Amino acid sequence: MNLNIEKIIAYIRKMNIRREKNSEHYGLLNLFLMLIFPVFITFMAEINQFKYAGKFFRFASGHPGVIAFDVLVAALVFLFCLAVFRKCWLATAVQSFVYMALSITELFKYGTNGNHLILSDMKLIRSVKSLSSFAYIKITPRLIIYCMIVFLFVLAVFWFNPRFDIRPSKRVIMGLMCVAPASAMIIVPAFYNPVYKLFGVDTTESTNDFLLNEKFSSNSFLAFIVQTASENYANRLVEPSNYNEDFVTEITSSASDLPEKNEDFHNGAKPNVIVIMSESFADFRVFDELNVSDSYYEGFDKASREGHGGTLITPTYASWTVRSEFELMFGLPVRGLNTPNMPQRVLADREQPALAQYYKSWGYSTAYVHPFMSSFYSRQRIYGEFGFDRMIFHNSKKEDPVVETDFTVPVEYFGTYVDDNTVYAQLIDLIKTTDDPLYVHTTTMQNHQPYDQGEDPKDEFGNYLTWIKHSSDGLSDFLSEIKKLDEPTLVLFVGDHFPSLRGETSVYNQLGINGDNCSVLYEQKYFIWTNYKADLSCIPDKPVSFFYMPYIIMNVIDAPHDAFIDTMMDNMKEIPVYSTDYNDGTPDNEGLDVLTYDRVIGDVMSPCPIPEEVLEASKNN
């Protein structure tokens, strides 16, 4: 063993001696390698996500300014890496890894759900295990070849060993000179706007995912990453200028006072409230050209006829379920937070006045059910402050050898994830085993991508419809069970968003959906169903935003109102839809924006169901 180690050490010494000689003998070649590297890594990262070199060069010929911008950014990154690592081969290795990793992630992300990569997506890196179950990851010979070309370039730099010998003080200065313009490209509009204009980078405001994808077509991968970072920073959430107690009081002053504590719920009966947000459940019959059979939605249609069906405007498309969850759990618009992908990440770390808190104040038991990993989106940690007495997760997918579950019923799978029928069974069990009236929010998983399981793995849309039928049919059995219960119960069922379907081959592309005609993909059919005689006449006939649904339910069950609830109900009449993605022509509403900020980030000056001492204690902790 010692002899082998000595041989290895001797070999490394001999190799380093050779590399030192290469530094001296190949000065011009080394200079060429360093000068060409920013161009090389830019081209390789772009070619990789284009898949074919020909497609990239056709883009480059039509957008030379964008490519020049990409190379300039790559040069700044390279100079910064040189300043930090000093060794040329290490600087090229680090930048090559980062560029190719981002390029591969973009390739898989778009191929999975038809949406392009932005830097804020990197917040999900901690949930890489969960994300790997969603993605279509296919290692192709072409991808391997591109990675090998990059590896061989880095290996050449390592072998010929270009030197970068400058004093540490000059390296610090060089690093700062790279950081300054790079930072300005993100946070200083007076700097980046003329730069983008000079290089022809598309800066069109993207108010929905399809417009964002169209911007990608103009900017391609690297310029798109930088420009959207500038856009996201410009749209970051800041405290509203008019956020103060006087304004909060003013916008809620017309609302009624809090009713008496013991006000009746339908003559004293407090019905169970079951909110089912069904993963990717969407009605594709809105597209006549698809000729989708009614049989796929038979159970859903039956429940709609027995109850009341309508249309909600979801704040998201294809992904970011937590946007829809936020609106249903808080009764507030994500637009009031500037529509972040993950609104739960911007909330104050304290007890939150979510809707579950209202139900607790009315004597309800509260629960959250999600048949997936409790760590995904940090749900268990963050949602634990929303007022849920109980949280039920299932920390696995079908292929996982070890299962950790909070479910109290047998868990079965349909496709990759937990069968919706298992969730329905868990809801029935909760109702039967809870003495108090129950409020429960469940976000299902069954219909989440990937959709490559079925008779034809390539028929993604056909497989999706098969799963939708399974969910819809299960609804009938679920509601039949509730009819047998001697407890008044209300059920809301709605899909969180239209499904993620593969980029270039998706049914959305076949339908010609674009940034101008995509509003239909934000319209989600829902139903409210009860097993008792409820007055459903208060349900609006026209579409309203997701965040108004909790107040519609409160009207149906005749729950107490405070000034905040009444204010939101007034807003529903005046501004039924408040969503940038659905309609970017709707102007900002100061009242909705301030109330949203106040309740989830600010000091909760508006009427709140959480006892003041509990709220103050959670703030101090």
Q: Higher pLDDT residue, 502 or 481?
A: 481
Residues 6+ apart with CB under 8 A from 557: 265, 266, 270, 271, 273, 490, 534
For helices 209-234 and 168-187, the axis angle rounded to 10 degrees is: 120
Tell which residue, 406, 411, 409, has the closest CA to residue 432: 409
Token couple for 612? 């003041």
Q: What is the mean pLDDT of residues 442-447?
A: 96
- Range in 35-39, 346-350, 423-427 with the lowest mean pLDDT: 346-350
Distance between CA atoms of residues 44 and 41, nearest Å: 5
**DSSP assigned state of 394:** B
pLDDT at 396: 73
Residues 6+ apart with CB under 8 A from 41: 74, 78, 92, 95, 96, 99, 150
CA distances from 496 to 135, 187, 313, 319 (A): 19, 33, 10, 9
Which superfamily does 274-559+568-600 belong to? Answer: Alkaline Phosphatase, subunit A (3.40.720.10)
pLDDT at 460: 87
**Adjacent-strand bridge partners of 278:** 495
Please, which pLDDT band fits residue 459 given cuts at 50, 70 and 90? confident
Give CA 146 to chain center in angstroms: 30
* Residue 466 in this model has a pLDDT that exceeds 90: yes
**DSSP assigned state of 500:** P
* Residue 10 in this model has a pLDDT that exceeds 90: no
Domain spans, the chain = 2-234, 274-559+568-600
* Residue 260 in this model has a pLDDT that exceeds 50: no
* Residue 44 in this model has a pLDDT that exceeds 70: yes
* Residue 490 in this model has a pLDDT that exceeds 60: yes
Q: What is the mean pLDDT of residues 463-470?
A: 95
Secondary structure percentages of the chain, helix, strand, coil, to 5: 55, 10, 35
Residue 163: count other Cβ atoms within 10 Å of its Cβ: 14
Q: What is the mean pLDDT of residues 509-531?
A: 93
Distance between CA atoms of residues 527 and 493, nearest Å: 6
Range list of β-strands (E), 174-290 = 272-278
- Note every long-range contact of 387-392, with CB atoms under 8 Å and residues 24 or more positions apart, other chains counting: 387/351, 387/352, 387/354, 387/355, 387/356, 387/357, 387/359, 387/360, 387/610, 388/356, 388/441, 389/360, 389/365, 390/365, 390/366, 391/367, 392/367, 392/368, 392/426
CA atoms within 13 A on the CB side of 47: 18
Query: With contact defined as beta carbons under 8 Å apart, do 471 and 420 qualify?
Result: yes
pLDDT tens digits for range 101-123 = 999 988 888 877 777 888 777 66
pLDDT at 130: 52
Q: What is the mean pLDDT of residues 220-232?
A: 92
pLDDT at 323: 95
